[in-house]
Amino acid sequence: MSYDRVEVPAEGERITLADADGDELDVPEKPIVPIIYGDGVGTDVGPAAQRVLTSAAEVTGRGIEWMRVYAGASARERYDENLPEDTLEAFRDFKVGIKGPLTTPVGAGYRSLNVALRQQLDLYANVRPTYYIDGMPSPVADPTEMDMVGFRENTEDVYAGVEWEAGTEEVEQVREFVAEEMGFGESIHDGPVGIGVKPISEFGTKRLVRRAIDYALERNREKVTLVHKGNIMKFTEGAFRDWGYEVAREEYGDEVITEDTLWNEQDGEAPGETVVVDDRIADNMLQQLLTRTSQYDVLAMPNLNGDYLSDSAGAQIGGLGIAPGANMGDGRFVAEPVHGSAPKYEGQDKVNPTAMILSGRIMLEHLGWHDASNLVYNAVEEAILDKRLTYDIERQIDDAERVATSEFADILIENIESQA
């Protein structure tokens, strides 16, 4: 593979797929890993995460050969385009990478680069583990109950981006079709209107739910909950639930039990070695995650539900500064924090790099480097217990010492090295 405008590191080796469907990787001791720092605070958290992850790899006798690639503001500066083909190709070619946040203008301007990247690489599952780290301040009474992994569909629903602007010829054509031919005249008010279409497919749903169930089985999780708004949107969100149950019933034999065949919530525990698949309506789910946190384990969600739920769940365990994520497709993986580019803090060496670092930790797990992943987790926990924290956490803890983004990374590196 040749790259026009970015340099492939001279050292380091490629990660390759060990099987055709990309479930297993062959990972060299020093893989080449593409990284986008990102916009706004990405320029602060990107380098911090890079240093911490390098340290964890080196302390465990390995290495990471980073390959800087560009998107958003950094790509516009260099190449006068938002998402260069070299960047997409690097993520395809090297299989595993990490990115910081990218800014998306609201209401006008270019479409989301995050969405474009996820769609073009077919990273169909956005995975967001949400767990409590000892010592972290939280707005809820018992944050230790939170140990949930969200699987958010990443290519359709609102991410399909099928919508038309009020006042355009296109929206009037759609209005006419929907009103006259489809018989929904009463459903759209007169005057200017924006119209969107929400596709949810059997293909998109089933591959997402399959990933969530596989994950639950591999990690000995007890339950996968399908989160939908099928009471109102019967043929999209309702279909998500139905296709989700179909996967559970038809593809897993005795390994999976669905709620309607056995599960009784009041009984508490899932029976034996099986995973239970059940479902919740999204609005109920948002309050249940607060009031019955410990009952939720793995969630499988259409795009928009997954967005709301994972930010809200992130707030329960310390906020966006620490909430990690990763995008997964067949044989492709791009780690990415939940938070955005927080432009008001750009370049101030102020924000919390933990979300990006813990996203990198998911990447280490994906590489099978569990020892390195544990080092990172322990280092973060130690820093929190020592109360040496960036502003977002420091402001919630009495007697804490406020440190900069780069200082926090230094502390984590010390904590990692001291575990060697």
Catalytic residue IDs: 159, 229, 283, 307
The vertex-398 CA angle with 395 and 401, nearest 5°, equals: 65
Q: Estimate to the nearest angstrom the gap between the alpha carbon of 24 and the chain centroid.
A: 20
CA–CA dist 383, 296 (Å, integer):
28
- Min dist CB 10 to ligand NAP, Å, is 30
- Min dist CB 356 to ligand NAP, Å, is 7
If the CB atoms of residues 54 and 390 are measured against ligand NAP, the closer one turns out to be 390
Structure token pair of residue 95 = 């299989």
For β-strands 223-228 and 195-197, DSSP reports them as unpaired
Residue of 116, 351, 357, 376 interacting with ligand NAP (CB under 6 A):
351
396 interacts with ligand NAP by CB under 6 A: no
Stretch that binds ligand NAP, among 49-57, 294-302, 340-348, 396-404 (CB under 6 A): 340-348
50 interacts with ligand NAP by CB under 6 A: no
The vertex-104 CA angle with 100 and 105, nearest 5°, equals: 150
Residue 17's φ and ψ, nearest 5 degrees, are -85, 130
Which residue shows structure tokens 């590489």? 367
- Min dist CB 133 to ligand NAP, Å, is 15
CA–CA dist 304, 313 (Å, integer):
14
Looking at residue 318, what DSSP letter applies?
Answer: T
If the CB atoms of residues 96 and 174 are measured against ligand NAP, the closer one turns out to be 96
Stretch that binds ligand NAP, among 85-93, 337-345, 377-385, 412-420 (CB under 6 A): 337-345
If the CB atoms of residues 31 and 46 are measured against ligand NAP, the closer one turns out to be 46
CA–CA dist 148, 325 (Å, integer):
12
User: Which residues in 159-171 are b (16+ Cβ under 10 Å) and which e?
Assistant: bbeeebeeeeeeb
- Min dist CB 304 to ligand NAP, Å, is 13
Residue of 27, 36, 45, 335 interacting with ligand NAP (CB under 6 A):
45
CA–CA dist 191, 171 (Å, integer):
12
Q: Which of 345, 319, 331 is nearest to 404 (CA)?
A: 345
Structure token pair of residue 147 = 């140990």
Residue of 137, 204, 302, 321 interacting with ligand NAP (CB under 6 A):
321
- Min dist CB 118 to ligand NAP, Å, is 9
216 interacts with ligand NAP by CB under 6 A: no
Stretch that binds ligand NAP, among 95-103, 130-138, 172-180, 287-295 (CB under 6 A): 95-103
Q: Give the count of beta carbons closer than 10 Å to the beta carbon of residue 156.
A: 23
Stretch that binds ligand NAP, among 101-109, 139-147, 189-197, 267-275 (CB under 6 A): 101-109
Residue of 43, 50, 55, 103 interacting with ligand NAP (CB under 6 A):
103
Stretch that binds ligand NAP, among 2-10, 216-224, 285-293, 332-340 (CB under 6 A): 332-340
Identify each DSSP E strand in 198-329 by its residue range: 223-228, 256-258, 275-281, 298-301, 326-329
87 interacts with ligand NAP by CB under 6 A: no
Looking at residue 128, what DSSP letter applies?
Answer: E
CA–CA dist 50, 224 (Å, integer):
33
* Cα–Cα separations (whole angstroms), residue 418 to 32, 181, 375: 26, 69, 10
CA–CA dist 227, 160 (Å, integer):
19
Which residue shows structure tokens 């899932």? 270
Site for ligand NAP in 112-131 (CB under 6 A): 114
Residue of 118, 223, 332, 339 interacting with ligand NAP (CB under 6 A):
339
Residue of 83, 226, 277, 355 interacting with ligand NAP (CB under 6 A):
355
Residue of 241, 392, 408, 411 interacting with ligand NAP (CB under 6 A):
392
Residue type (1 letter), 327: N
By CB under 6 A, the count of residues binding ligand NAP is 18
Residue nearest to ligand NAP (CB): 340
104 interacts with ligand NAP by CB under 6 A: yes
336 interacts with ligand NAP by CB under 6 A: yes
User: Do 356 and 364 form a contact (C-beta atoms < 8 A)?
Assistant: no
If the CB atoms of residues 163 and 242 are measured against ligand NAP, the closer one turns out to be 163
Stretch that binds ligand NAP, among 9-17, 27-35, 73-81, 334-342 (CB under 6 A): 334-342
Gyration radius (Cα) of the chain, Å? 22
Which residues contribute to the site for ligand NAP (CB under 6 A)?
Answer: 41, 45, 101-104, 114, 320-321, 336, 339-342, 351-352, 355, 392
